Amino acid sequence: MPAHTPCAPLAERANAAQLDLAGDLLTLLGEVTIEPRPDTQLEALTLAVAADLPVLLWGEPGIGKTAALTQLAESLDLPLTTVIASVHEPSDFSGLPIIGDDPAEHGVPMAPPDWAVRLVRAGRGLLLLDELSTAPPAVQAALLRLVLERRIGALHLPPGVRVVAAANPRSSAADGWELSPPLANRFVHLHWTHDHDVVVRGLGGTWPRATLPRLEPEKFSEAVVFARNAVCGLLAARPKLVHQLPSTETRRGGAWPSPRSWDMALRLIAFATAAGSSRAVLSLLVRGAVGDGPGFELLAGIDRMDLPDPEVLLADPAAAVLPERGDLRQAVLDGVVAAVRRHPVKARWDAAWALLVKAVETGAPDLVVVPATTLATLRRENWDVPASIEQLAGMVSVSQAADRAAARVAAKAGR
């Protein structure tokens, strides 16, 4: 027997001890603390999942998409089932044909995969279709029925199962494909980004625990009416927005407006309103459903729905509360002047001036220049000039002089 043989067990025990020590170090590295922190992205994701809409997270590799979905599943107490779409055949999603006792009599049933059966048995869960942009067109086609109808072969996933997906942009996906327009139009698209402060604090040992939004039942009826008015009001004024298939392949693989995606936007507005979510969350949701351009138009329409009625303001200028945001305040003042133009009465004219004075006292003075100039042209000969005009006259004249000076400079520069 070789002389070094007796030392072998000692070396093995030493190696095992080193692995135990490595495990202790890994355990220490895994000990972190949790702190509550608002997260706009996660709130938008949670509301879309609560609304039972398929959600697709777009982001570069390593950005934290899967981690966010794992946290969401834990927060909602839902078992997470992950399926890598690109490593499956189309039949895995459409169902595998099996031969029964009498195919001529009963046909050939389509058997679902085991993970779908487990979801049905559980009755609830979060189904994650990961690496979706690496799925070839044939697999994407097979996913259409799963994403929209929740059907896999002859199996229907129960209402307690929610569908989410994650994808890298084609430029950074392994053997990536653009999403087909029919599949893309079935998702709410959320672009996932990292928060620098969160990453730094997390690596330092303190990770955030996002507070999930809570739906308030007493707001449900109002939320539904508000959502329907917002979407229907925009589409009635802009009928071309009902369906706009993008012209480029890349944009067709994202969010774009169709009757289906407008229905999703309506549902998302209702859920965000019932949860009292911020405008930032609502913006992520509606743009993720119908695209940036139509989404911004919808948001602008929603902002105007919240504006005070000009007639109410004219009836009691002293009690008027004007919006803080400059663009909304400008819209309110323009609406007040337009209301006076439609029904020019001395009392209404005086009330409009009082509102303009309040706007100067509570916000940026330059916002009243155009409304004040227009309101002055509505004066009748027998109307006395209110004293409040004196507070605005100097400001308007200075602004107009500045505009004329700028025009002269521009004219000289163009020579």
Query: Residues 6 or more apart from 84 whose CB is under 8 A from it?
Result: 130, 131
326 lies in the same domain as 347: yes
Q: Tell me what pLDDT residue 411 has.
A: 64
Q: Is residue 254 part of a domain?
A: yes
pTM for the model stands at 0.75
Q: Could you read off the pLDDT of 163-220 as tens digits, one per residue?
A: 999 998 876 655 678 899 999 999 999 999 888 888 888 888 887 776 778 999 999 9
Alpha helices by DSSP H, 181-309: 181-184, 196-203, 220-237, 249-252, 259-275, 279-290, 292-305
What phi and psi, each to the nearest 5 degrees, are found at residue 396?
-65, -40
Q: Is residue 25 part of a domain?
A: no
Q: Whole-angstrom Cα distance, residue 103 to residue 89? A: 24
Residue 1 has pLDDT above 50, yes or no: no
200 lies in the same domain as 234: no
Q: Tell me what pLDDT residue 402 has.
A: 40
Beta strands in 139-231 (DSSP E): 151-152, 155-156, 160-167, 188-191, 206-209
* CATH code for the domain of 205: 3.40.50.300
Q: Tell me what pLDDT residue 68 has.
A: 84
Q: Is residue 163 part of a domain?
A: yes
**Mean pLDDT for the chain?**
85
| Domain end point (choices 161, 184, 209) | 209
**Quick one: residue 384, left, alpha or beta (phi over 0 = left, psi -120 to 50 = alpha)?**
beta
Q: Is residue 29 part of a domain?
A: no
Mean pLDDT of the 55-63 span: 90
Q: Is residue 330 part of a domain?
A: yes
Return the CA Rg of the chain.
Answer: 30
Q: Is residue 18 part of a domain?
A: no
229 lies in the same domain as 362: no
Q: Whole-angstrom Cα distance, residue 41 to residue 3? A: 65
Q: Tell me what pLDDT residue 100 has.
A: 63
Residue 106 three-state SS = helix
Residue 368 has pLDDT above 80, yes or no: yes
Domain limits for position 338: 310-413
Q: Tell me what pLDDT residue 54 has.
A: 96
115 lies in the same domain as 189: yes
